[in-house]
Amino acid sequence: MSEDETVANLVSKILDELGEDVDREGLERTPERVAKALRYLTSGYGKDAKEILNGAMFVEDYDEMVIVKDIDFSSLCEHHLLPFIGKCHVAYLPGRKIVGLSKIPRLVEMFSRRLQVQERLTTQIASTINEVLQPRGVAVVMEAVHLCMLMRGVEKQNSKAITSAMLGSFRDRPETRAEFMDLIKSSRGLQI
């Protein structure tokens, strides 16, 4: 039996325990679809951050802030297996190396495709960039809506969680942190 078949069988058991008829028309293929969806939503476990970043690192004489903002992400809350969805903003101050801009969203994607809490997700992104690039500083801000807060528990429809990780110059220099925060708050500007 494959891993996906095992997960599908377990989903069938859960549906049965919830009082559903897993053989009814609308549910007959649901266990397989859920197994496939869960495999995709947790596909980040099979990826290596250094492999994502190492292929696109370059020595460059550039010492100003590099920001990639408004990176869409979605993840699964490890407490309820419900989604949280939002935007990630990443900045770094290069030391000697820069990284291809598309690698930053790929790194966000890799860590978000795991069972997560937003606080750890934020820290993992910042720590990995710091470790691999060895910049003078890294900043990550994540803002997300958590379905576990909207659909259950407190049921607060307009709540958003914001987390940050500031390393190096972003932690030590308030003016650097303030510049980053101002830049990520600025309007969308360029529209293609």
Active site residues: 77-80, 118, 146, 148
Task: Determine the Cα–Cα distance for residues 120 and 139; give it in Å rounded to an integer.
Answer: 14
Three-class secondary structure of residue 13 per DSSP: helix
Three-class secondary structure of residue 115 per DSSP: strand
Which residue is it, tokens 């990826």?
47
Task: Determine the Cα–Cα distance for residues 38 and 163; give it in Å rounded to an integer.
Answer: 25
Who contacts 17 (Cβ-Cβ below 8 Å, separation ≥6)? none
